A and B are shown apart, each in its own frame.
Chain A
């Protein structure tokens, strides 16, 4: 059954971080256009990531001996919320910080931790996650990319696709097959850390419908990896990946993808004549967002308490992406009610960008249908 999501407060010492982050962002992002802000965790700016690192805001939850700040989940929630709320270009470090570092901390050997974690905290090592393949999307267990034992470590062959930032990252953590065949499903999968500068790796960016190239196709042609490319246990890749997803699925990034548009439109509305329909749309979006934020915080609280709220995280993500997609739909309709008053161009560009990319919100990190399947299993239907 689904666990009750209790109201959860952010501890004052973590909430205190907000003021500092806010004032840094107000200064640093001054003049950033709303349509650039709308890209946020697709917005790649290594210099910005380094500025965050200088303030100790990368690897916030990592232990100090690895270069982190030893803060908790709530501090991370506050930082993420402010970064995404402001539409900061966080893409360069985002995956390394959110997923790769916790994974390496949990499953890595001391040597792996020493190798990667301090560089992640200094914004010197950017990561991507290799999951999907041309023949494996939602059916992730059917992946065919294979690493075979060799004299010196592993020999890797295959390809990954839709890998966010592969062309701008130093490393990929990939889910690959290390034994058995596609028929063995979840058995025989392992996670490998792949240095993308190695011979035999080819990365080809894919342009998207908005004119950006944030994801790539990656080919592995007899790539020789050292023994210690394996992270965690050989054959336990599926379980490791799923543990990771509870972190990925419930965070503020599943609420705030369309925040730049909401902020921009709110400011626009303040300059318009009083309008009941705009008030209603605004109220509806804020209401849903406030409840979702409370739900997301509750999941953060469960994670902080050491629990693994996988079903609840799937539920919050599905509701969250629905809202992220509703924001451009409803604001588009609100703006289009007055064809005689075209919106200011920055607002129009922000709206258009989000309308175009919004379908991806319920694809990345597990499609809507997969998430609903996970919830159904939690309800005892499967």
Chain B
């Protein structure tokens, strides 16, 4: 495992975020106790500076918690909460209780209400930290009017608030890189899980008298899957790189773009290897592949971020090698 903190998160999520719990959360039973256990472990405050009562960790140190949350498809927004609390501290509006979903896109103010069609995590989060109309808002879920999206098993939903219930926050830096970094880490973690499940299945399922993993055609596909998962992991590390208080916009963009790009191949190969059992409700694979596909789009798909990275490269004026060496790799320039 990654480090002591990562080990602790792995143990906690393995115990509390079981496949059964995920199914219950998707059916509408809020994972209150699981979230409480996570809160008591202090993971939500990992990035909050020590002077505000947090653990004061750097993002690279906290990444293992996010990867573990991805591996177990934790049905509450722990990665968002970590980053949102750090952001709120910077905005001088500390928020130490409750989980927070970050919604950087898709929310609008209309008349006396603020709302959006497909807000991630809204069915299990305690708060939403959102950007809308050039403003940041902190929105308590208990005051929200929530309507199911009809998307099977999604933790996202349509939601709106009366503006009188919405707390306006002096605009800090954009929330989009926070959401992008969070999803990059979750995707990389979930891919580790899906790869491990696929390897297990390929070794255990026999056809034509031998495990299907012995067939070259299957091996080649799983190797591609491992390559993509490995690239997503590096992408997540880049997204969480840097010593500033918040994720660097280009690094977060890069991380989310590459992790998102890997999703279709990884999820498709996992299902190809699993065969029909993989698309059944009883097989746990679907709990992770559905989330992977959802997270690919959430906070901007690969094309959304590619276009922004391309625009930044054109504006940068340097050659391509310099651009990717300097702008897209903080570890060296730091």
Residues of chain A whose beta carbon lies under 8 Å from any beta carbon of chain B = 2, 4-10, 15, 81-82, 85, 256, 259, 262-263, 266, 269-270, 276, 278-284, 286-295, 298, 315, 318-319, 369, 371-373, 375-376, 379-382
Contacts of B320 in A (CB 8 A): 259, 262-263, 266, 286, 289
Are the CB atoms of B310 and A5 closer together than 8 Å? no
Are the CB atoms of A315 and B324 closer together than 8 Å? no
Apart from A279-B306, A376-B223, 7 more pairs, CB < 8 Å: A7-B234, A266-B314, A276-B307, A315-B230, A379-B223, A381-B218, A381-B222
B180 nearest CB across to chain A (Å) = 12
Are the CB atoms of B310 and A9 closer together than 8 Å? no
Rounded to whole angstroms, the CA-CA distance of A85 and B321 in the bound complex is 7
Are the CB atoms of A278 and B324 closer together than 8 Å? no
Contacts of B224 in A (CB 8 A): 372
Q: Which positions 277-334 of chain B face chain A at CB distance < 8 Å?
A: 302-303, 305-311, 313-314, 317, 319-321, 323-325, 328-329, 331-332, 334
Are the CB atoms of B305 and A381 closer together than 8 Å? no
Are the CB atoms of B257 and A287 closer together than 8 Å? yes
With A281-B310, A287-B306 in contact, is A9–B227 under 8 Å at CB? no
Are the CB atoms of A294 and B222 closer together than 8 Å? no
Are the CB atoms of A4 and B233 closer together than 8 Å? yes
B197 nearest CB across to chain A (Å) = 13
Rounded to whole angstroms, the CA-CA distance of A10 and B330 in the bound complex is 11
Partner pick for A381 among B60, B219, B254, B325, CB 8 A cutoff: B219
Are the CB atoms of B203 and A283 closer together than 8 Å? no
Lowest 7 CB-CB distances: which A-B pairs, in order? A283-B310, A283-B306, A279-B310, A283-B309, A376-B219, A282-B310, A290-B328
Residue of B nearest to A78 (CB): B325
Whether, in the assembled complex, B79 has its beta carbon less than 8 Å from a beta carbon of chain A, the answer is no
Contacts of B321 in A (CB 8 A): 81-82, 85, 256, 259, 263
Whether, in the assembled complex, B30 has its beta carbon less than 8 Å from a beta carbon of chain A, the answer is no
Residue of A nearest to B302 (CB): A284
Are the CB atoms of A266 and B238 closer together than 8 Å? no
With A15-B332, A379-B199 in contact, is A7–B230 under 8 Å at CB? no
A81 nearest CB across to chain B (Å) = 7
A168 nearest CB across to chain B (Å) = 28
Whether, in the assembled complex, B52 has its beta carbon less than 8 Å from a beta carbon of chain A, the answer is no
Partner pick for A283 among B223, B230, B313, B329, CB 8 A cutoff: B313
With A375-B227, A381-B199 in contact, is A291–B238 under 8 Å at CB? yes
Contacts of B302 in A (CB 8 A): 284, 287
Contacts of A281 in B (CB 8 A): 306, 310
Rounded to whole angstroms, the CA-CA distance of A380 and B218 in the bound complex is 13
Rounded to whole angstroms, the CA-CA distance of A58 and B307 in the bound complex is 40
Are the CB atoms of A295 and B310 closer together than 8 Å? no
Residue of A nearest to B229 (CB): A2
Contacts of B222 in A (CB 8 A): 376, 379, 381
Contacts of A295 in B (CB 8 A): 230-231, 234
Contacts of B258 in A (CB 8 A): 287-288, 291
Are the CB atoms of B331 and A7 closer together than 8 Å? yes
Are the CB atoms of B328 and A5 closer together than 8 Å? no
Chain A CB within 10 Å, residue with most, of B218, B302, B334: B302
With A7-B238, A375-B227 in contact, is A286–B323 under 8 Å at CB? yes
Rounded to whole angstroms, the CA-CA distance of A382 and B213 in the bound complex is 8
Rounded to whole angstroms, the CA-CA distance of A5 and B230 in the bound complex is 8
Contacts of A10 in B (CB 8 A): 332
A56 nearest CB across to chain B (Å) = 23
Rounded to whole angstroms, the CA-CA distance of A175 and B223 in the bound complex is 28
With A259-B320, A290-B328, A290-B329 in contact, is A2–B230 under 8 Å at CB? yes
Residue of A nearest to B304 (CB): A280
Rounded to whole angstroms, the CA-CA distance of A294 and B261 in the bound complex is 17
Residue of B nearest to A282 (CB): B310
Are the CB atoms of B226 and A315 closer together than 8 Å? yes
Are the CB atoms of A9 and B332 closer together than 8 Å? yes
Rounded to whole angstroms, the CA-CA distance of A369 and B2 in the bound complex is 31
Rounded to whole angstroms, the CA-CA distance of A259 and B331 in the bound complex is 22
Are the CB atoms of A315 and B227 closer together than 8 Å? yes
Partner pick for B305 among A81, A283, A289, A290, CB 8 A cutoff: A283
Whether, in the assembled complex, B220 has its beta carbon less than 8 Å from a beta carbon of chain A, the answer is yes
Are the CB atoms of A290 and B254 closer together than 8 Å? yes
A261 nearest CB across to chain B (Å) = 10
Contacts of B164 in A (CB 8 A): none
With A6-B237, A291-B258 in contact, is A372–B223 under 8 Å at CB? yes
Rounded to whole angstroms, the CA-CA distance of A85 and B326 in the bound complex is 14
B203 nearest CB across to chain A (Å) = 7
Chain B CB within 10 Å, residue with most, of A4, A10, A287: A287
With A7-B238, A287-B257, A381-B222 in contact, is A266–B306 under 8 Å at CB? no
Contacts of A369 in B (CB 8 A): 220
Whether, in the assembled complex, B202 has its beta carbon less than 8 Å from a beta carbon of chain A, the answer is yes
Are the CB atoms of A279 and B307 closer together than 8 Å? yes
Contacts of A372 in B (CB 8 A): 219-220, 223-224
Whether, in the assembled complex, B15 has its beta carbon less than 8 Å from a beta carbon of chain A, the answer is no
Are the CB atoms of A284 and B238 closer together than 8 Å? no
Contacts of B323 in A (CB 8 A): 286
